[in-house]
Amino acid sequence: MFFFPAWVLQVSAEQPSNVYVTWENMEIDKCASAWLIKRFVDKSATFRFYPKGKLMPEGIPFDVPQAEIRRYHNMAAFEFILHKYDIDDQVLQNIGKIIHDIEINYWGRKRYEESKKINKMFQKIMDSSNSTEECLERGLTLFDSLYSTIIKSPFETGEGKKD
């Protein structure tokens, strides 16, 4: 188990409310969470990336240990944001199920057929991006597309894509 000192998350009292900070290197829950913040929580949000373990001097930390917005043992950061901001959009709930399936159900058999496909699509974005910022921008486009193609009704195992 890793513990990170509290100073890693120190932010000033005058922190900008629309600057979100996290560590470099993108992964699907971090990207999906940034997309959710940018599209549904704070449209003026900007993102800054710091080397892993380094002090983040300003902004709202997310997807790092000890941040409020992060992955927990039973929910992805994406799901936490849905809960924290009381977002009741069924398409977002369905995307949350997919992110959960990829991130929390990491070793288990995937419950949704979309999980493997979306994970592979995002892996290609990660592998071909030259920076965390580029990966984020390309990931935002992927999630915009995903939002327009996922069905609006709750889906169960093996269901989810619009025909």
Taking alpha carbons only, the member of 51, 48, 53 closest to residue 3 is 53
Angle, nearest 10°, between helix axes 132-149 and 90-103?
A: 130
Would 5 be classed as within a structural domain? no
Whether 47 contacts 34, CB under 8 Å: yes
Domain that holds residue 99: 16-149
Would 110 be classed as within a structural domain? yes
Predicted confidence band at 128 (pLDDT cuts at 50, 70, 90)?
A: very high
Number of domains in the chain: 1
As a whole number of angstroms, the distance between CA 102 and CA 112 comes to 9
Would 158 be classed as within a structural domain? no
**pTM over the 0.95 mark:** no
Task: Write down the pLDDT at residue 11.
Answer: 42
Task: Write down the pLDDT at residue 67.
Answer: 94
**What's the whole-number mean pLDDT along residues 119-129?**
97
Would 155 be classed as within a structural domain? no
Whether 40 contacts 92, CB under 8 Å: yes
Would 2 be classed as within a structural domain? no
Would 9 be classed as within a structural domain? no
Predicted confidence band at 4 (pLDDT cuts at 50, 70, 90)?
A: very low
User: Which secondary-structure segment (H or E) carries 60?
Assistant: strand 60-61
**What's the whole-number mean pLDDT along residues 2-28?**
66
Q: pLDDT for 38-95, tens place per residue?
A: 999 999 999 999 999 898 988 999 999 989 999 999 999 999 999 999 999 999 999 9
Would 93 be classed as within a structural domain? yes
Task: Write down the pLDDT at residue 17.
Answer: 78
Would 160 be classed as within a structural domain? no
Task: Write down the pLDDT at residue 13.
Answer: 44
